Amino acid sequence: METAIVSITDDRQGKEAIREKIHAAGQIIRQGGLVAFPTETVYGLGADALNPLASGRIYEAKGRPSDNPLIIHISNMEDLEKIVRKVPEQARKLAEKFWPGPLTMIFEKSGIVPLETTGGLQTVAVRMPNHPAALLLIRSGGGYVAAPSANASGKPSPTRAEHVAEDMKGKIPMILDGGPVGIGIESTIVDFSEEIPMILRPGCITAKMIQEVIGEVRMDPGLAAENPEAPPKAPGMKYRHYAPKADLILVAGSKEKVQEKINELAEKAAKEGKSVGVIGTEETKDGYQYGTVKSIGTRKDAASIARHLYGILREFDQLDVEIIYSESFSESGIGQAIKNRMLKAAGHQMIEV
């Protein structure tokens, strides 16, 4: 299959030309096809959520296990009522505060949502993304767009159209290229099918921000560790995921000790003939002597670290690096989501110094 990569950024083309392109993409979705598109978090791989055959094509293109449910993307509040049994008051409050935005909520599904979209579950995950092109695509595509991240299953989520092309070229008819995304890690997931709302995946909307709106919220205990007795409740969180081809090892501790340890480990691996990568920051990158050193962002701005994380892992993949040593970062604010994704990418390998 030929994959069209269609630019929807505002350089020389007019707004009307962009609208027409997105509208054409919407027609592909209405006809049961797949379109990758930008959102504010990561690129999504969209299909008509109410068409079981279309959802099936997503699993096929990604190589995704069929028990891993998809998020349905909507463009307005009225459309929510049709796909869920009821909207709890607290969920309504979160929607008012954070939608459109990087928040996904899980509800009991209504009859029109096929089990193929929900991985066989009676619940459905819903999000209204904060991205004008995504919202227009959802409307042109019929109002309900199922979209996981547009990576091949197991790979880091795509934060640029080029990343989508790496994984999806030849498998889908169209990629809408809206340039690099703003946030860079996936939405926060809050499950309202529990008595007390539960965070199944941390993201840039933090537990504290949610508590300020609805009071009590719990963290899925399965997120805490690689623990087979308490698997995470979101099926997708149990896979080794967000992962580069190389072995990733996190090093935590004070700045000086971390640098010393990473230099020591990188030197040893390099002397063993391995191809080594190091993930540092603007503040620390000049202190590393071995391997290919990349800065992930600045410690003064955690959002910059989130934005570059997946792109850096993909860059190391392209260099065929075999082992990556990375600094680890503060867990406050979006830091908790960054830590969650890095630990998963590392298969929970972390050295404390």
Question: Which range binds ligand TXA by CB under 6 A, 12-20, 124-132, 284-292, 302-310?
Answer: 124-132
Q: Name which of 240 and 255 has its Cβ closer to ligand TXA.
A: 240
Please check whether residue 100 is in contact with residue 135, taking contact to mean a CB–CB distance below 8 angstroms: yes
What residues are paired with 248 via a beta bridge?
Answer: 324
The answer to whether residue 147 forms part of the interface with ligand TXA (CB under 6 A) is yes
DSSP string, 151-204: SPTTSPPPSSHHHHHHHHTTTSSEEEE--S-SS-SPPEEEE-SSSS-EEEE--S
Candidate list 95, 106, 181, 276; residue touching ligand TXA; CB under 6 A: 106
Of 295, 290, 287, 242, the closest CA to residue 266 belongs to 290
Q: How far is the CB of 352 from Mg ion (least distance, A)?
A: 29
**How far from chain centre, in Å, is Cα 149?**
6
Applying CB under 5 A, the site for Mg ion has a residue count of: 1
75 binds, among ligand TXA, Mg ion, none (CB under 5 to 8 A by kind): none
**Residue in 141, 156, 236, 297 binding ligand TXA, rule: CB under 6 A:** 236
Shortest spacing between CB 284 and Mg ion, in angstroms:
29
Helix 335-345 and helix 302-318, axial crossing angle in degrees, nearest 10? 20
Member of 51, 55, 149, 193 binding Mg ion (CB under 5 A):
149
Nearest residue (CB) to Mg ion, 39 versus 149: 149
User: Rule CB under 6 A: is residue 118 a binding residue for ligand TXA?
Assistant: yes
Pick out residues in 11-70 that bind ligand TXA (CB under 6 A): 39, 41-42, 44, 68-70
Q: How many CA atoms lie within 13 A of 282 on its CB side?
A: 9
Residue 188 binding result from Mg ion, ligand TXA, none, given CB thresholds of 5 to 8 Å by partner type: none
* DSSP codes joined into one string, 289-333: -SSEEEE---TT-HHHHHHHHHHHHHHHHHTT-SEEEEE----ST
* 301: nearest Cα among 282, 287, 325: 282
Binding flags for ligand TXA, 169-198, as an x/- string (CB under 6 A)? -----------------xx-x---------
Whether omega for the bond prior to residue 228 falls within 30 degrees of 0, making it cis, is no
**Contact positions vs ligand TXA (CB under 6 A):** 39, 41-42, 44, 68-71, 104, 106, 118, 121, 123-125, 127, 129, 147-149, 186-187, 189, 200, 233-237
